Structure 1
Amino acid sequence: MSDTPQFLLEVRDVSKSVQGPEGRLEILDGVTLQVAHGESFAIVGASGSGKTTLLGLLAGLDTPSGGSIRLDGHPLESMGEEARADLRRRLVGFVFQSFHLLPALSAEENVMLPLELEGDAQARKRAREALESVGLGARRRHYPAQLSGGEQQRVAIARAFVHAPRVLFADEPTGNLDQRTGHHIIDLLFALNRDHRTTLVLVTHDNQLATRCSRRVELEEGRLVSPQGAIA
């Protein structure tokens, strides 16, 4: 019998609240959803709806105030920060609206960095292969300032995929790009999802983009208002 859990992500009745100057603020309330291995899953909602907070919880960057989250069978809410960080290194890739590239490093060196931190002797070779996969093999020695916004985001995608993560979390990945470049980046993300069977969890306010995912949920004031979070 396989030890692989049925779902890559299982979220049960998750809440998140913080203490503000005017009292307790509820950011998420009673969120339940499941994400299958290899699927593409969109979280949509207006600014302030809680979607980025939910993404951070799913990735183990924060812990919920209540409820449970399992990532590949691991209960994130009961794990310490060091254990969650180790899990992220092994299973998770990130692509953000801001590219988060180190300006003093070349494209190749930016992609190599997470592998070098793990002591991977094949870091340079794997980084070059990752850059080739996003069409930037010829630009590997260029620094971020020498690359366009779309090229920088492709470097960020190569860095996210270089360690073959189980899941890629993308938070408004086209927010700083023009429409044409943004469409190219999204096509690339879906191609990598399809070709590598990497689960894609996408946060966006763009409903048209969300319809490209196999499933989507909508958040409104911290609550799910669409019925597609759970798989029967």
Structure 2
Amino acid sequence: MVSSVLDEGIKGYGNGWLILHHEYEVIVGEHTPAPNLYEMDYDELIALVEDAMKAIRTRSYKNGYDQGHFDAEIEAAHGTYEKSDQQKRDEVVAQAKEDVETLKMRNRLSKAFTIQVIERPKSRSVEATAKVPNSRKAFYGIAKCAPNDCFNVHIGKAIALRRALGLVVPSEYLNVPQPTEVRVGDVVRGRMAFSMDTYEETVGEIEDGKYKYIGGDFDYTEDADLVIIDDSRAGEGE
């Protein structure tokens, strides 16, 4: 146990040892215990959520600044860099996933609503309900994909949940670019080679120059004329 801290090092009790400052490294400092959410009152929870959201916004701003600085360096070295429609869509999907988790976290802490989100991929829609606890009062939100657009359940959940909670829906959710790259897990629509008939398949593998479907059939990647109709990729870590 340390008795005193001297200019040249730290000393033990009595005629104990002396360790010079350059001979040791502090590996454990002061530790602030995490707050117990279940023991905090409502106002404290709200303040904690607001502090967390402020920290997230600050971190997002810094990350955006760092990315902007990096992009500027790339532009200076290689010319203007324009993101592809696929990259823009990937960013919106990632934003929607984070948005849904943040909204759910805020609601768990505030206990303002009982939230239910129902995915309806067959009808290419998502429904959300925000019910007031111990009450018949509830708010509803729905997101339905346009016939010619690619359905993405993550964007749909963000739109439906925001509408149920009475929040503004970001314009990028409503004007997201269509996907341009077929990936594993995508649901695609193709056309028969010698007829006007169409088929829908889920891509299970992409290898050996083929799109291999879950059902066992395949298309050659160079010859396939596919339209991506659902890029939610549930179960594929997307």
Q: What TM bracket, shorter-length normalisation?
A: under 0.3
- Taking structure 1 as the reference length, what is the TM-score of the superposition? 0.24
- Taking structure 2 as the reference length, what is the TM-score of the superposition? 0.23
Q: Point out the structure with max Rg over C-alpha.
A: 2
